[in-house]
Amino acid sequence: MSFVFPSPKPTNEKDYYIQRTVEMLPGIITWSFLIFSVYLSFNAPVAIAVFIIIFDLYWTVKVFYITVFMIFGYRRIKIWEKVDWLSKCKKLKESDDAPNWRDVYHLVIIPIYKEGLEILRPSMDSILNSDYPKDKMIVVLAFEERAGEEALKRAKALEEKYQDKFFAYLTTLHPDGIIGEAKVKGANASWAAKEAKIFLDEKNIKYENVIVSTFDCDTCVHPKYFSCLTYKFITNPKRRQYSYQPLPLYNNNIWQTSSIVRVIMINSSFWQIMQSVRYDKMVTFSSHSMSFKTLVDVNYWPRDMISDDSIIFWKCFRLYHGDYHVQPIYLTVSMDAVMADKYWKTIINQYKQLRRWAWGIENIPIIYRSFLEDKKMSLAKKISKGWEEMAGRISWGLAPVVIAFFGWLPLIFGGDKFNQTVLAMNLPKVLGYIMTFAMFGLIVSMLLSLFLLPPPPQKVGILKRLIMVFQWILAPIIAIPLGAFPMIDAQTRMLFGKYMEFWVTEKVRK
C-alpha cells in the first residue's frame, strides 16, 4: 500500500472540521492575546506589568543562549570547511551496512521559473566546481511550461554548456494545469524527480544509493558540500531516516541590496545556524538533501502546498512514526538576498518573501491530522512536536510586539492609581536594564555578520563598509514591520480562509 499523507483539502467532513479548526488557532491565539492585553492594561495593569517584566527577562535569557549557539555553529562551520571530506570518503572501509562511496550518486534538482541566465549559470558553475566526481552526479534543471518560450531558450543555452559535464544532465518541462496541482515549486520538483526516477531505472541505479538535493535556482553550493554529504550519508546507519541541511547564507548579492534587507537576511541565516546546534528541533528549510528512496516512499514533495521545503520533513516524520531527523551539514550554500530595481519595491518584495515563509503555518493542521492518524508514534512525541510548531509560529508574530510596545500599555491605560505605584515608576527603568543586557546578542550578531560576509566588490568604498557595521541599529526598528507583521498577516489570512498562492521572489543582480 502506497504512503498516504493528509491533503490540505480534506475529502470528508470530519477532516475538514479538524483542518479549519487548527488553521484558525494561530490567528485566534495571537489576536486574543493582543486584544486581551490591551483590555487588561485598563483593568489589571499590575498583572500586565509583572507579565511584561517576566516575558522580557525570559527573552533576554533566550537571546543569550541563542547567541551562544550561534557562536558554536559558526565555529563548527570554520572547522568543517577545513576538513578534506573527499579523502575521508576514500578512507571508509567497505561494509555490508553501507554503500561504497563510489556507488553513491548525487541527484540535484533545480526548479526554475523565469529566472535568467545571470542567476542560473553561477549556480551550475558552483556544482561543476565542487570536489565530488562529476561522473557520479545527475543534474536536473526543472523548467515550467507556463514560463513560455523564454524558458525553452534558457534551457537550450544551459544544455549546450553543461550537458556533457556530468554523468547525466536532464532538462524537464513541468506541464501546466495538471489536475490536483497548484502553481507551486513542489509540483515542479516532484515532476522532475519522477522523470529522474525513470532515468535511474533505465540505468539500474539503486534508489538507496542516490542522494537527492533540491536547490533553489540561485543556490551556489560550497565546493565540499557533496563530498561532506556523502560521508555523512554513508556513515549514518539510519541514513534513509535523515534529511541533510546545509546552512543558508544570502551572500550572492549581499553587498548590492539595501541595509534593511541585509539585516533581515543575515538574521535568517543566524537563526538557521543557531538551530543547527540544537538539531533535534530542526526542520528542513530551502535547499536540502535526503535519500531518494525515502523521497519515493513518501510520494515526493507536495504538489498543492507553498511550504514544500518544510512539509517534506513532516511527511518523512510521519512515514517513520517520529523516527526521522535532520542532520546539519556545517557547510554553507549561498543564495540571493531580496533585491529589485527600485528601493521601495525591494522592501515590498522582502515583506512578501517573509510572508511566504510565514505561510509555513499551513503545515500545522496537516501535521496535527497526520499525528491523529498515526497510531505507532508516541503520544509524548506528538505533543512535543505539535507544541514546538504551534508555539514557534505564534512567538514569531507576538514576541517583537510584546517587547517593543507592551511595557507602555499599563502606563498609558492603567490610570492615575497605577501610575502612582512604585512598580509604575520603576517599570521603564527595569525594562530598560533588561533591554540593555539583550543588546549583547545584537553586538555578537554584528561581529559574526562581518566574518560571514563575502569579499566586497572592488567598487565598494569605505562608506559602504562602515554601513555594514552600523546597519545593525535598524534591527529593533524593523523587528515589527518586517518581523512580526508578515506572520500576523499570514495567521490572519489563514484565520479567515484567505489562502495564499505561491509568490516567486524576483531575482535581480547588478
Tens-binned pLDDT, residue by residue, of the chain (510 aa): 478 899 888 989 999 999 999 999 999 999 999 999 999 999 999 999 999 889 988 988 888 888 999 999 999 999 999 999 999 999 998 777 888 999 999 999 999 999 999 999 999 999 999 999 999 999 999 999 999 999 899 999 999 999 999 999 999 999 998 998 999 999 999 999 999 999 999 999 999 999 999 999 999 999 999 999 999 999 999 999 999 999 999 999 999 999 999 999 999 999 999 999 988 889 999 999 999 999 999 999 999 999 999 999 999 999 999 999 999 999 999 999 999 989 999 999 999 999 999 999 999 999 999 999 999 999 999 999 999 999 999 999 999 999 888 888 888 888 888 888 888 888 888 888 887 877 888 888 888 898 999 988 888 888 888 888 899 999 989 999 999 999 999 999 999 999 998 888 888 776
pLDDT of residue 423: 85
**Alpha-carbon gap, residue 7 to 19, rounded angstroms:** 10
Residue 74: what are its φ and ψ, rounded to 5°?
-60, -40
Q: Do residues 220 and 118 touch, judged by C-beta distance below 8 A?
A: no
Question: Strand pairing of 220-221 and 325-334?
Answer: antiparallel
Closest CA to 276 of 330, 314, 222: 330
**Alpha-carbon gap, residue 336 to 319, rounded angstroms:** 33
**Alpha-carbon gap, residue 297 to 396, rounded angstroms:** 33
pLDDT of residue 207: 97
Element (H, E) at 249: strand 242-249
Q: How far is CA 405 from CA 27, 416, 436, 441, 479, in A?
A: 19, 20, 16, 20, 12
Residues 6+ apart with CB under 8 A from 89: 101, 227, 230, 231, 234
pLDDT of residue 232: 97
Q: What angle do CA 424, 439, 270 make, to 5 degrees?
A: 130
pLDDT of residue 490: 97
Question: How many CB atoms sit inside 10 A of residue 405's CB?
Answer: 15
Radius of gyration of the chain (CA): 24
Give me 503's grid cell.
509568490
Handedness of CA 298, 300, 306, 309 (dihedral sign): positive
Residue 214: what are its φ and ψ, rounded to 5°?
-110, 120
pLDDT of residue 69: 92
**Alpha-carbon gap, residue 209 to 213, rounded angstroms:** 13
Q: Look up cell 494561530; give the residue.
A: 26
The class that CATH gives domain 104-355 is alpha beta
Question: Strand pairing of 210-214 and 325-334?
Answer: unpaired
- Looking at the DSSP bridge assignments, the partners of residue 415 are none
What's the distance, CA 311 to chain centroid? 11
Give me 393's grid cell.
509560529
**Alpha-carbon gap, residue 315 to 299, rounded angstroms:** 9
Question: Strand pairing of 242-249 and 288-291?
Answer: antiparallel
pLDDT of residue 394: 95
One-letter amino acid at 324 equals Y
Q: Look up cell 519515493; give the residue.
A: 296
Q: Tell me which DSSP letter residue 85 carries.
A: H
Q: Do residues 509 and 42 touch, judged by C-beta distance below 8 A?
A: no
Q: Look up cell 501546466; give the residue.
A: 176
Residues 6+ apart with CB under 8 A from 237: 97, 98
Give me 394's grid cell.
505564534
**Alpha-carbon gap, residue 437 to 65, rounded angstroms:** 13
